[in-house]
C-alpha cells in the first residue's frame, strides 16, 4: 500500500508573503551594513575637519616653518616660537628602533611556536605572549622608568658607550652620558608593547600554510630553516607585512608609556641615549596647560601624526599590492 504524497497547502499568497519578507530582510541588512560603512567615513572626515579647524591658527602663523623649526618655546611673549621638528624626529626614531627590535624577535617567536615548540608548552607560551597586549600602557611606562631605565643606565649604556667611543659615526649614535630618560629606553618599551601584535599575527598566518607544501619541501631534503625561508614566509608574506604595519601604527601613536620614559625634550641630537619627545608625548604633557596659539600648535601636531600614520598605512597597502602583482606574474 502506497502512502499518498503530502498535499502542499501553501497558497500563492503565502509564498508571496514569504518572498516579500525575505526581500525586506535582505534590503534591511544591506542598508544597515552600508550605513555602518558610511558612518566610518563620516567619523573619519569629521576628525580630519576638526583637526584642521583647530590647527588653522597655528598654520596661519607658522606655515611651513612649523615643520622645520627645532625650538619649542610657547612661553615667549608676545610671539611664541613653536616647531614640530623635534617631536617628528623623536616619533620616527623611536618607532623605527622599536620595529628593528620587535620584528626579528616577534617573527622568531612565531616560527618557534609553529615549527619547534613542543605541543605541551605551545599554548601556554602563546597565551603569555598575547597577555602582553592586555597590559595597560601606563604600566609599561612605570615599569620602564623604575625597572628598565636603572638597569640600562647602570649596566648597558656605559658598556656600549665605552665600546664605540672611538668608532666613527657609532660614537655619535651611542654617545653619552647614560640617562634614565632617552629615545633608546622608550624604543625598548615600545618594542615590548608591539611584540604581541607581530607574534600573534605571524603565528596565525604561519599556521595557514598547507602541510603538504612543507612536507614536500622536507621530502626534497630541505632543512627547517630552508622550509621557513622558501615556503612559509613567501606563502604568508602579505599577512606578515600587515601585522608589522599594524604594530608600526601602534608604535607611532603610543602616548603614556613613551611620556614616562622619553624625557620630553624638544632638542635633536645624534645620540639615541639622549632625551627626546614624540608627537603624542608632547601633546599629552602640554595639552592641559595650553591655550591660544599653543593649543592650536598641539592640535597641528595631532594632525601631523594623523598624516604620518596615513602615509605609513598607504605605503603598506601599496607594498602589498605590488607583492600580489608580483605573485600573480
What's 72-328's CATH class?
mainly alpha
**CA torsion, points 133, 138, 144, 145, in degrees to nearest 10?**
180
Distance CA 317, CA 77 (A): 45
Record the pTM.
Answer: 0.85
Distance CA 291, CA 205 (A): 48
Please give the chain's pLDDT, 329 residues, in tens. 454 555 445 556 677 777 777 777 788 888 999 999 999 999 999 999 999 999 999 999 988 899 998 889 888 777 888 889 999 999 999 999 999 999 999 999 999 988 888 888 888 888 888 888 888 888 999 999 999 999 999 999 999 999 998 899 999 999 888 888 999 999 999 999 999 989 988 998 998 888 898 888 888 888 888 899 888 988 888 888 888 888 888 888 888 889 889 988 888 888 999 999 999 999 988 888 888 899 999 999 999 999 988 888 888 788 777 777 766 55
The number of residues in the chain equals 329
Q: How far is CA 310 from CA 79, 144, 156, 201, 306, in A?
A: 32, 29, 36, 21, 6
Distance CA 191, CA 137 (A): 12
* 69-77 own/partner pairs: CB under 8 Å, 24+ apart: 70/266, 70/267, 70/268, 71/266, 72/266, 72/282, 74/286, 74/290, 74/293, 74/294, 74/297
Contacts of residue 313, defined as CB under 8 A and 6 or more positions apart, other chains included, come to 245, 249
Residue with cell 601604527: 249
For the chain, the 3-state helix, strand and coil shares in percent, each to the nearest 5, are 75, 0, 20
Amino acid at each position: 500500500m502506497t502512502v499518498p504524497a503530502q498535499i502542499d497547502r501553501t497558497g500563492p499568497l503565502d509564498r508571496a508573503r514569504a518572498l516579500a519578507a525575505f526581500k525586506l530582510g535582505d534590503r534591511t541588512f544591506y542598508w544597515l551594513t552600508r550605513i555602518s560603512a558610511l558612518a566610518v567615513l563620516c567619523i573619519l572626515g569629521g576628525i580630519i575637519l576638526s583637526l584642521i579647524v583647530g590647527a588653522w591658527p597655528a598654520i596661519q602663523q607658522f606655515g611651513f616653518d612649523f615643520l622645520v623649526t627645532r625650538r619649542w618655546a610657547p612661553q615667549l611673549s608676545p610671539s611664541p616660537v613653536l616647531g614640530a621638528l623635534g617631536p617628528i624626529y623623536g616619533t620616527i626614531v623611536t618607532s623605527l628602533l622599536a620595529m628593528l627590535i620587535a620584528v626579528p624577535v616577534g617573527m622568531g617567536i612565531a616560527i618557534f611556536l609553529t615549527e619547534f615548540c613542543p605541543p605541551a608548552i605551545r599554548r601556554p607560551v602563546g597565551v603569555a605572549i598575547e597577555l602582553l597586549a592586555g597590559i595597560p600602557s601606563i604600566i609599561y611606562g612605570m615599569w620602564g622608568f623604575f625597572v628598565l631605565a636603572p638597569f640600562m643606565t647602570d649596566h648597558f649604556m656605559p658598556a656600549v658607550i665605552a665600546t664605540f667611543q672611538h668608532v666613527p659615526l657609532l660614537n655619535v649614535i651611542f654617545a653619552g652620558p647614560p640617562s634614565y630618560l632617552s629615545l633608546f629606553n622608550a624604543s625598548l618599551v615600545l618594542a615590548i608593547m608591539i611584540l604581541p601584535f607581530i607574534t600573534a599575527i605571524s603565528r596565525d598566518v604561519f599556521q595557514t600554510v598547507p602541510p603538504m607544501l612543507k612536507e614536500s619541501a622536507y621530502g626534497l631534503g630541505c632543512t627547517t630553516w630552508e622550509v621557513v625561508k622558501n615556503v612559509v614566509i613567501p606563502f604568508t608574506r602579505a599577512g606578515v607585512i600587515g601585522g608589522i604595519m599594524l604594530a608600526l601604527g601602534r608604535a607611532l601613536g603610543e602616548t603614556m608609556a613613551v611620556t614616562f620614559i622619553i624625557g620630553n625634550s624638544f632638542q635633536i641630537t645624534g645620540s639615541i641615549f639622549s632625551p627626546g619627545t614624540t608627537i603624542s608625548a608632547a601633546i599629552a604633557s602640554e595639552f592641559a596647560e595650553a591655550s591660544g596659539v599653543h593649543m592650536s600648535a598641539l592640535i597641528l601636531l595631532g594632525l601631523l601624526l594623523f598624516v604620518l600614520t596615513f602615509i605609513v598605512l598607504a605605503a603598506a597597502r601599496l607594498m602589498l599590492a605590488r607583492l600580489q602583482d608580483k605573485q600573480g606574474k
